[in-house]
Structure 1
């Protein structure tokens, strides 16, 4: 039976080429893309048998030294290396996602009127959002979970009109960061299984095992009534509630997007 550690190693091995690691390319037309197991073992300074046992899930507790050697062999960045360490230390969890924002943060989100603001847990469930966030995208189906919104709502490709693929990859890669080594958490597994059954795009992106956290970015969106928006979002880890992220957004001063947000805010006041 495999393991999250083994699945990650296999995915990164298959995504790494001989050219990238400086090995001589063999004249073999039948060769599959990526590195072979014996090549990774050689680069990491471990036996091929030991590396095979890691990929197959028969060895689940490599030393930190071995993990660092594998990370160098597979050219992993700092976030992916830390993720690999978490997978090696992981134990299955029965924790339910924390879904109660602390009162102080709740007030901050509700009073944030510069742009959309919301709090998510480590499954990307939206725990609370301010009225502007609701006006921007809260009306869309599956907007209670950002991964479901992207992969299960066909409208999301029009909504993220400029680069839906980038958004999809970023959310999945960040999900792995938030999950850490807890891939067997039943509450996370439930979401992954649902998306795997329902979305070919999610299956493709999830199989890459990309790992990186995107703490800030401009997101280009298309509102069905108010047109295009470009909003800069910043994410903050919530120390008082590990696993939660506070996300706040604002438009560039003087931009058309700022004018649109102001119009959206006025429409909310007029509707109350």
Structure 2
């Protein structure tokens, strides 16, 4: 794999996803030799020289001013999350050495083990699973301590059957992985996971080079569970207070619904 140029790779990926009509330009005549916008078109929209923009994409210039970053965000139609990520790429600093598992992780492990009707797991920023409570283990057998949640989602064929919106979920999950690890592409664990998923998942190969960014969210996951049948589970993905790199992922049911009854049956072993 070529050496990553975080800022330049991101600019190129977002440029290639835009069409001239998206930014009010005429497509022109003849075939376009590149997908999306030309470098010169992005430069013109951002009011910078083409030569300078080329240097940004090629990694020859890595410290653009805030004004240039703002102009590029507007030119590339970046939302607030993507603009913040662009700024972070231009201000990369080394991540401190791992200081070990924070005490908050162990305390949260005790907490989630006491939840009979909420399925929960604790994840690292790499989506490695470090804790799973009993209900999560019963609900989704693939999510186990020591595994990587994104790898399981993409490579375990049973997950396609379980999640009715697997296509959308996989897209959001890859974007979240990018948002949490894209600033550390020289991290050996990130490289290991990217290589594993590139080799094993066509979906990952399709989406990784888009450089989509996603945040932690809440919503609903419809499922077709092999034992409990159709479920409509609420989910939340939350940063774990007291840590920099860990998060808590939860599944729970709306009170009074069929899903709550089915979840109770799973929790009781019925």
**Same fold by TM-score greater than 0.5:** yes
Contact 1:143 1:149 in 2 (8 A): no
Q: State the shift of 1:3 in Å.
A: 0.2
CA contact (8 A) 1:91 1:182 kept: no
Secondary structure at 1:233 match in 2 = strand
**How far apart are the structure 1 equivalents of 2:120 and 2:4?**
39
* Cα distance per residue 1:124-165 (max 9 Å; x no partner): 1111111110001134689821111121111211111x2111
Does residue 126 (structure 1) correspond to residue 129 (structure 2)? The answer is yes
Give the deviation of 1:36 after TM superposition: 0.3
Q: Is structure 2 residue 114 aligned with structure 1 residue 114? A: no
Q: Given the superposition, is the C-alpha separation of residues 38 and 98 from structure 1 closer, same or farther in structure 2, using an over 3 Å criterion? A: farther
Partner Cα distance (2:148, 2:192) in 1: 13
| 1:75 equivalent in alignment to 2:88 | no
Q: CA deviation at 1:114?
A: 2.3
User: Structure 2: how far apart are the matches of 1:43 and 1:51?
Assistant: 11
Q: Is the 8 A contact 2:142 2:152 kept in 1?
A: no
- Please tell me whether the aligned partners of residues 2 and 56 of structure 1 are also in contact (alpha carbons under 8 angstroms): no
Deviating 4+ runs (over 4 angstroms): 92-101, 139-143
Q: Distance in 2 between matches of 1:98 and 1:3?
A: 29
CA-to-aligned-CA distance 1:42-89 (integer Å, 9 cap, x gap): 111111111111111111121222111111100000000111111111
Of residues 163-172 and 56-65 in structure 1, the stretch that sits farther from structure 2 once superposed is 56-65
Question: What do you get for the CA RMSD once the two structures are aligned?
Answer: 2.1
Partner of 1:158: 161
Q: Is the 8 A contact 1:17 1:35 kept in 2?
A: yes
Please give the alpha-carbon distance, in whole angstroms, between the structure 1 residues aligned to 2:111 and 2:132. Answer: 10
**What pairs up with 1:1-272 in 2 under 5 angstroms?**
2-93=4-95, 95-96=97-98, 99=101, 102-139=105-142, 144-160=147-163, 162-179=164-181, 181-267=183-269
* Structure 2 spans left out of the alignment, 5+ residues: none
Following superposition, the deviation at residue 24 of structure 1 comes to 2.1
> Structure 1 residues 141 and 126 mapped into 2: Cα distance closer, same or farther (>3 Å)?
closer
TM-score by length of 1: 0.91
Q: Report the count of equivalent residues.
A: 267
Unaligned runs of 5+ in 1: none
Q: Determine the C-alpha separation between the residues in 2 that align with 1:118 and 1:140.
A: 8
State the shift of 1:29 in Å. 2.9
Quick one: distance in 1 between partners of 2:266 and 2:98?
35
Q: Please tell me whether the aligned partners of residues 98 and 244 of structure 1 are also in contact (alpha carbons under 8 angstroms).
A: no
Structure 1 residue 247 displacement after superposition: 1.8
Q: Distance in 1 between matches of 2:105 and 2:143?
A: 26
Q: CA deviation at 1:248?
A: 2.0
